[in-house]
Chain A
Amino acid sequence: MKTEKLLLGDEAIALGAVNSGISGVYAYPGTPSTEITEYIQSLPITGERGIHCRWCTNEKTAMEAALGVSYVGQRAIVCMKHVGMNVAADAFINSAMAGPNGGIIVVAADDPSMHSSQNEQDSRFYGKFAFVPVLEPSNQQEAYDMIDYGYRLSEENAVPVLLRVTTRMAHSRSVVSIDTEAQPKKPISFPENPASWILLPANSRKRYPVLLDTYAHLEDIAVSSQWNKYIDGNDKSVGIIACGIAYNYLKENIGPDFRHPILKISQYPVPQQLIKKMASECKTLLIMEEGQPFVEEMVRGILPSDCIIKGRLSGELPRVGELTPDSVRIALGMKALETFQASENVVPRPPALCMGCGHRDMYTALNEALQQYPNHKVFSDIGCYTLGALPPFRAINSTIDMGASITMAKGAADAGLFPSVAVIGDSTFTHSGITGLLDAANANANIVVVISDNLTTGMTGGQDSAGTNKLEAICKAVGVHPDHVRVVIPLAKNMEEIKGVIREEIEYSGTSVIIPRRECIQTAKRHAKEKKA
């Protein structure tokens, strides 16, 4: 039985997974992937069936736990934003080497145009790198349908499947036809080839050629896949290749009288046979893809050919940023629609820390305490507090990747910087900061680590934070001297005390941790409302 529902792309994926009988979702929050896990958490069936849905500490622990589910023959979904793939990469790539037993789908939500991210990396490269098939839905219905398909693909071929979406797929709503019944959970069963799960070199050498053969087979599957469509046309002057969501922007601009051949790609490995067919008939290929020129570079190769290839590398489409109906329109050689001029009365309105946020008080104190140290640098991290880079605070000097604050501060201190300060949030600290703090404590590096604890994962909307109520114990356990693990309450009335603590810890020659702790005001508001209700 089917029914219809208005769903975000992320929610369609979530329902697809639950209806495919998953045993668990394993994820760390990250825009634009967060709503997949949140939606699974909200479904009654999740509780009824005991589907695992608790947030993981980071993407690597998530990927590995899913691999454990797969080992015992059951299905799991792993969700992350694109940069989370870097954290999960070791587990992801080697999961393909092992060859899953129960199906695994890894959702990578890419963020071209960097709406909420530090780069535009395209997760399709990870699929190719790991010899893993990639599904790239062009609409919410495909996102839903591809989950069931993906689990079967994963189990039949003993590979994880990467589902790649981008912001506009993850965060756009449409009506989706869904199943009213969820498939049962799979029973426990163990791998047919247990040795492939023990990646000793001798076993890996046996498994690798099998994986390569599988990848060749997966390309054959992609050629005849229901998700890849070759729509022939009479006008062979140009053939168009549209990947994933680019297909929507193409359709937005063309009518039923469009005469050029179109190849829609939503399943990889790249179906080379279909591209060769198009190239043999069309003099010019125009390649549209959301993200990096993954297909275009592959098709272009490095040697000259007779075929003219147009796309992001040749400038028909912009090299950076997400595609839009407008950029695709221009690439098709169509005239832009008539528009109004931009208003001169509009100025940028960048995001800012909320009024009343504890990070604000933390930065005020830090800035004032550091005034007397002209050579200070503050290495920060990924989260709401990254907004401390903007006026009025301008308080931080770096933001690179999850956890890099502590390790960069240590490196700079090793090289002679004083004072060297790290600012990291509670959730980022448990995600990737603890190991860095262990390095620092082992060397008794002369750094001050500020763990700005708002008791949640704030930037993504207030998910549980893995280290809540455990931060002091963790810091002491990795070897920070107990006298130098200090807790303060970031409020204006405590300003003098906080500044004093910061100064004392700067003057202490060794690794110290200051934990300003006050609940995120967004979650505090929500909790107050829930109490009232």
Chain B
Amino acid sequence: MKKDIILAGVGGQGILSIATVIGEAALKEGLFIKQAEVHGMSQRGGDVQSNLRISSEAIASDLIPKGGADLIISLEPMESLRYLPYLSKDGWIVTNTVPFVNIPNYPDQEKLISELKGRKNTILVDVDTIAKETGNPRGSNIVLLGACSHLLGIEPTKFEEGIRRIFARKGEEIVEMNIKAFKAGQNSAL
């Protein structure tokens, strides 16, 4: 088992909390894990990504080779396409459809979505709306995790357990809100 995952988004969107839940579940499964993050200047509203590698064999490189990623998980549609050269030919894109427009030359949104729709192995989810519907507008990232949970090579129930462990210290209410967001994400990708 080997999954090379690129997590993408804009600084401040919270891609690292997705990585934390996947990492937690992978560790419990006894898998090897490497996760390269971006800290510093680019976190200020710029494009950010994290390379997350999980595998049943030891992992050498912290970075995923071009053409090697099994999955791009993105909280922003344009950012999902930024890492296209890293995606393997059979790789998947799971992305939020809601653009984060903080630059004057943001591309035409229809073109962007139609490029994504024209690709095979692509799951488009309006995670912001689903998060709001579940009463947890800040849970977009967990909705997105739910939407790609069947592609991660780990039993989806393991992520629920991961969410419980990670959010436990914040109280039962927060745990349940995030489980709800996760399940809503799962259903959206069906």
Contact = CB atoms under 8 A, between A and B. Distances in A.
A172 B60 contact: no
A31 B40 CA distance: 6
Contacts of A3: none
A212 interface: no
A121 interface: no
A306 interface: no
A268 to B, nearest CB: 22
A324 B46 contact: no
A339 interface: yes
Interface string B73-97: 0000011011011111100000000
Given A171-B37, A339-B85, 17 more contacts: A8-B37, A31-B39, A168-B63, A173-B23, A173-B36, A174-B33, A174-B62, A251-B61, A252-B65, A326-B65, A336-B66, A337-B65, A339-B87, A347-B107, A349-B46, A352-B44, A459-B40
Interface string A347-376: 111111110000000000000000000000
Q: How large is the interface on A (under 10, 10 to 19, 20 to 34, 35 or more residues)?
A: 35 or more
Interface string B45-62: 111000100000001111
A295 interface: no
A461 B33 contact: no
6 contacts: A116-B42, A175-B27, A245-B62, A339-B86, A345-B111, A351-B42
B61 A252 contact: yes
Of A249, A324, A341, A347, the most chain B CB neighbours within 10 A belong to A347
A339 B11 contact: no
Interface stretch (B98-106, B127-135, B144-152): B98-106
Contacts of B115: 343, 345
B112 interface: yes
B38 interface: yes
Contact of A251 (B40, B60, B78): B60
Nearest to B35: A173
B167 interface: no
A349 B44 contact: no
Contact of B85 (A6, A341, A349): A341
B87 to A, nearest CB: 6
Contacts of B60: 248-252
B50 to A, nearest CB: 9
Interface string A159-176: 000000000110111110
B36 A172 contact: yes
Interface in A443-468: 459-461
A387 interface: yes
A324 to B, nearest CB: 6
Contacts of A250: 60
Contacts of A347: 78, 103, 105-107
Q: Which 8 A-B pairs have the closest CB atoms?
A: A337-B67, A116-B40, A31-B40, A351-B46, A251-B60, A252-B61, A343-B81, A339-B67
B156 interface: no
A481 interface: no
Contacts of B106: 347
Contact of B36 (A31, A171, A343, A352): A171
Given A324-B63, A325-B65, A6 B33 contact: yes
B34 interface: yes
Given A35-B39, A251-B60, A345 B112 contact: yes
Contacts of B81: 343, 345-346
Of B33, B34, B39, B84, the most chain A CB neighbours within 10 A belong to B39
A261 B14 CA distance: 44
A338 interface: yes
Contacts of A171: 36-39
A455 to B, nearest CB: 17
B43 to A, nearest CB: 7
Given A172-B62, A349-B102, A459-B40, A354 B45 contact: yes
A302 interface: no
Contacts of B23: 6, 173
Contacts of A345: 78, 81, 107-108, 111-112, 115
